[in-house]
Chain A
Amino acid sequence: MNKSEEGVFFLTGKDFTNAGAASSNLKGILEKKGVQPSIIRRAAIAAFEAEMNVIIYAVAGMMNYYVTPEMIRVVIQDMGPGIENIELAMKEGYSTAPDYIREMGFGSGMGLPNIKKNTDKMTINSVVGEGTTLEFIININKTS
């Protein structure tokens, strides 16, 4: 794997039929590039949690990915309600998800902590009423 690759997936809020499709595609791309499975799993889990956040909370969003021989960088940007208190949102178990989301098995307040746990670097920028940008980096060469 020596070539860099980048791309974008568009996400639609409340589209639960296709929720997860972007992360699934990203997983396929990483598999094709021969990235080691444990790294792919971390990237797919982090991307999936971030994607679900967009589907659950936002109107729309996009997932940009950049894969180099050294790292995977994913930027998920949404037009959504924004996060009022990021510190609180990072706490395991804290969630503002409505009941119907919980019935789907999500909204248990583990999303952002899961992303942090599976990535080497994660940053969130959010403006209430405008949207949220979440970026994470996973190093490929570092043993995990």
Chain B
Amino acid sequence: MKISEIRHILNAVIISRDEDMDTDIMRAYCADLMSDVLAFSITNSLLITHLTNAQVIRTAEVADIKAIVFVESKRPDIETIAMADGKKIPLLVTGFSMFDTCGRLYEKGLRSQPDTDFFNE
């Protein structure tokens, strides 16, 4: 699923400078505990979270996360956005709740693990 598609599904705004909307994302993971992201997320996935501090960007970098969606219209500060720009990690902000964000993406075929369902996008 392309980032442009994710943006459309979530009615999200892109707040980072990264304009590569064609990046293909195969998996998604949602958490507010960064250690869980480090322990359980899959490489090249999408991170969905409430947290907007700089550690989220670091965590994403370390765990090879491709893009981040902040739910409930939460926005990181300018320094954090700049850090994501430097690491080429696109940031999206959606007004949907965590539950609805995950539900919408799941409905369109995004999954957390390869074996949870057949990926048919």
Contacts and interface: CB of A to CB of B under 8 A. Distances in A.
* Category for how many chain B residues contact A: 20 to 34
Interface string A42-61: 00110011001000000000
Given A24-B61, A24-B62, A37-B64, A45 B54 contact: no
Given A48-B59, A105-B51, A41 B64 contact: yes
* Category for how many chain A residues contact B: 20 to 34
Given A48-B38, A110-B36, A114-B38, A105 B62 contact: no
The DSSP consensus for interface residues of chain B is: helix
A105 B25 CA distance: 24
22 contacts: A16-B55, A17-B54, A17-B79, A19-B54, A20-B59, A20-B61, A21-B58, A24-B61, A37-B43, A41-B64, A44-B63, A45-B38, A48-B59, A48-B62, A49-B38, A52-B55, A105-B34, A105-B56, A105-B59, A108-B35, A110-B39, A114-B35
Interface of A: 16-17, 19-21, 23-24, 27, 37, 41, 44-45, 48-49, 52, 104-106, 108-111, 113-114, 117
